[in-house]
């Protein structure tokens, strides 16, 4: 990939492997909270250009931050402009409501939540933007390693919510990236691969 001047993003990387990669590729960057490693060649090539989306990343609780950070790092790597809105879960709905004007100023939302995962339904009912929901494996008792949150999101009353798999912050970010490509695709050459 590097020999072809392609940028590199590695996800789900533990700290030990991240440090090892930094020794091999000192220009790379390890993001411990996101568990990602990024490396950009001096001249990076991509087959497309796209409009850079402003994306609000909303996390219900502090336990959801690693998944939200994976989304943040991926969006940043892909050239978008993510903004963090953390600790705005339904247990403190007043904090969520206070951020509504700022959330509405974005192009799309990624909403990360565990437990019963009510936050995507709440925001989906209040904000008419593309919304990608990410269930996390956070919870107590009958959370079933995130299956409870996953099923709650799939059964949301708010129409049009896109749901990715459990703990899949990368997938949520890439879903938003696909929206950006569809919004403004411009192939550079027919031989180029997609970003």
pLDDT at 190: 44
The total domain count for the chain is 2
Residues 16, 78 within the same domain: no
In contact, 195 and 46? CB cutoff 8 Å: yes
Question: The tokens 């799309």 sit on which residue?
Answer: 108
Residues 36, 63 within the same domain: no
pLDDT tens-place string over residues 123-169? 999 999 999 999 999 888 888 999 999 999 999 999 999 999 999 99
pLDDT at 48: 59
192, pLDDT greater than 60: no
Q: Give the full edge-to-edge strand order of the sheet including 36-39.
A: 8-10, 36-39, 29-31
More reliable by pLDDT, 111 or 192: 111
CA dist., res. 18 & res. 160, Å (int): 37
DSSP code string of 134-192: EE-S--SGGGGGGHHHHHHHHT-SSTT-EE--TT-HHHHHHHHHHHHHHHS---S-TTP
Q: What percent of the chain has pLDDT over 70?
A: 88
Return the bridge partners of 10, or none: 37
CA dist., res. 167 & res. 178, Å (int): 19
Residues 130, 34 within the same domain: no
Residues 171, 150 within the same domain: yes
pLDDT tens-place string over residues 9-54? 999 999 999 999 999 999 899 999 999 999 887 665 555 567 899 9
172, pLDDT greater than 90: yes
Residues 39, 99 within the same domain: no
3-state helix, strand, coil in the chain (%, to 5): 40, 20, 40
Domain ranges, residue 161: 54-181
Residues 21, 71 within the same domain: no
Is 73 within a domain?
yes
58, pLDDT greater than 60: yes
Indicate the range of 24-28, 47-51, 90-94, 175-179 predicted with least confidence.
47-51
């Amino acid at each position: 990939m590097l020999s072809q001047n392609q940028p590199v993003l590695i996800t789900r990387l533990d700290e030990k492997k991240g440090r090892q990669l930094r020794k091999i590729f000192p220009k790379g960057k390890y993001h411990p909270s996101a568990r990602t490693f990024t490396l950009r060649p001096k001249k990076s090539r991509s087959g497309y250009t796209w409009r850079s989306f402003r994306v609000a990343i909303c996390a219900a609780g502090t336990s959801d931050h690693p998944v939200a950070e994976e989304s943040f790092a991926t969006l940043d790597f892909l050239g978008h402009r993510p903004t963090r809105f953390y600790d705005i879960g339904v247990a403190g709905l007043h904090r969520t409501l206070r951020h509504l004007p700022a959330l509405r100023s974005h192009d799309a939302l990624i909403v990360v939540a565990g437990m019963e995962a009510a936050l995507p339904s709440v925001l989906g009912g209040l904000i008419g933007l593309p919304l990608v929901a990410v269930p996390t494996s956070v919870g107590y008792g009958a959370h079933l390693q995130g299956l409870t949150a996953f099923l709650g999101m799939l059964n949301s009353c708010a129409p049009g919510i896109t749901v990715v798999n459990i703990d899949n912050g990368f997938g949520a970010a890439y879903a938003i990236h696909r929206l950006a490509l569809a919004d403004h695709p411009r192939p550079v050459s027919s031989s180029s691969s997609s970003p």
